[in-house]
Structure 1
């Protein structure tokens, strides 16, 4: 099966084609945008398909990062993946950024627990804990920095994600660390999705609401009957 993977969870707008049978990447395109995923994603996908010498009709599944991550980026990535899957009559498979980061840390430090942790601001952490077999044992959830420190220390975890350094500093000790990025390499999402197979339709993983709220001056008064 050839699978298209999409990631818009952070600043990257990324796509790759992965041959699940041969377990190898066929081609990719990655842009570091910050914003503007909606305007560039279809072109990025087209370039990944071109690099792979693959047509849409050759695909057997669509993989997509579902977060936690950018509120807008996740909506763009997931809606595109679901739309393509519907049009092509193939499954769409969601993979969280936390499990992808944990998978990369586990590859570097086999048979160790991994705490994947992303800085969510407000001294909060988006976290998920995986055991020595890479099975999820906690989360994904929003926890405090103190709770993240306690979890990492108690489990002697390898750390991954943007909050890794913050946790180590707060703990006052060193931890073995995998990727300290906001998202994993695009092929990691492809590999994990290929191993998962078809499941529920992907949807964005929002562990808390969007930060943007309407300004009070723009709120309409409730009409009285």
Structure 2
């Protein structure tokens, strides 16, 4: 089973290819606003470099959100287009769960902590959730305004590991808390999406290609450019 995975929820445009859960190749581009112009190129290069074509794919997986509205829309459009054209399943993986997964597999004693990925939502807001080492949801994905008592209930009973591009805003608020630990430079990756997608495929957890929409978590606000007002 060949699964192509897309991660476009952040400024990083990332793609990966897995066969039966084994990573065959991965490529990413760390350029702001590059998704629309470079995603298709990354996909084609990845398949060419690994010796496959689009018609070899058994499924396409994508990062479901939350995250960048524009990035998620671009990823969804690409994934849905491929699935429709190739008549293959669409798999959506929570961005926050994938982040937690990629951290948990590298922790020496993964059961000793809970995992709290945080994605920047501007100002003092983040998108966050809490998971166990095996992906069990403890706190569902939610938008949070960061304050000193954020996650206080969880930290009262467990050691929490915070990471993601929203975590640095929270660190000064709980720097002295004995149950708050932080990891830096943890970014969303298509590799983690692909690893979880293999499990989802075996469970036959597919999305409706025609009606799928990314999980934005909160309403998107748009404004009219000043030159059009």
TM-score, normalization by structure 2: 0.85
Measured after TM superposition, the shift of residue 179 of structure 1 is: 5.3
Q: In the alignment, which residue of structure 1 is the partner of 2:63? A: 65
> Partner residue of 1:105?
103
Q: How many residues align?
A: 216
Q: What are structure 2's unaligned runs of at least 5 residues? A: none
Deviation at 1:36, TM superposition (A): 2.9
Deviation (angstroms), 1:71: 1.2
Contact 2:126 2:145 (C-alpha < 8 Å) held by counterparts: yes
Is 1:204 the counterpart of 2:204? The answer is no
- 8 Å contact 1:95–1:193 — kept in the other structure? yes
Q: Pairwise mapping of residues 28-177 of structure 1 onto structure 2 (< 5 A)?
A: 28-109=26-107, 110-111=110-111, 112-146=113-147, 148-151=150-153, 153-154=155-156, 155-173=158-176, 175-177=180-182
Of 165, 170, 194, which residue of structure 2 is paired with 1:190? Answer: 194
C-alpha contact (below 8 Å) 2:89/2:207 kept by paired residues: no
User: Contact conserved, 1:10 with 1:34, CA < 8 A, in 2?
Assistant: no
CA-to-aligned-CA distance 1:79-135 (integer Å, 9 cap, x gap): 110110111111111112211111122123311211111121231120111134420
The normalised TM-score by structure 1 is 0.86
Unaligned runs of 5+ residues in structure 1 are 220-225
Q: Which runs of structure 1 show a deviation greater than 6 angstroms over 4 or more consecutive aligned residues?
A: none
Per the alignment, do residues 178 and 195 of structure 1 end up closer, same or farther by CA in structure 2, a change over 3 Å counting? farther
Determine the C-alpha separation between the residues in 2 that align with 1:188 and 1:132. Answer: 14
Encode CA deviations 1:144-196: one digit per residue, 9 max, x unaligned: 21253425523321112122233222012363334543x42221110011111
RMSD: 2.1
User: Residues of 1 paired with 2:141 and 2:78: CA distance?
Assistant: 23
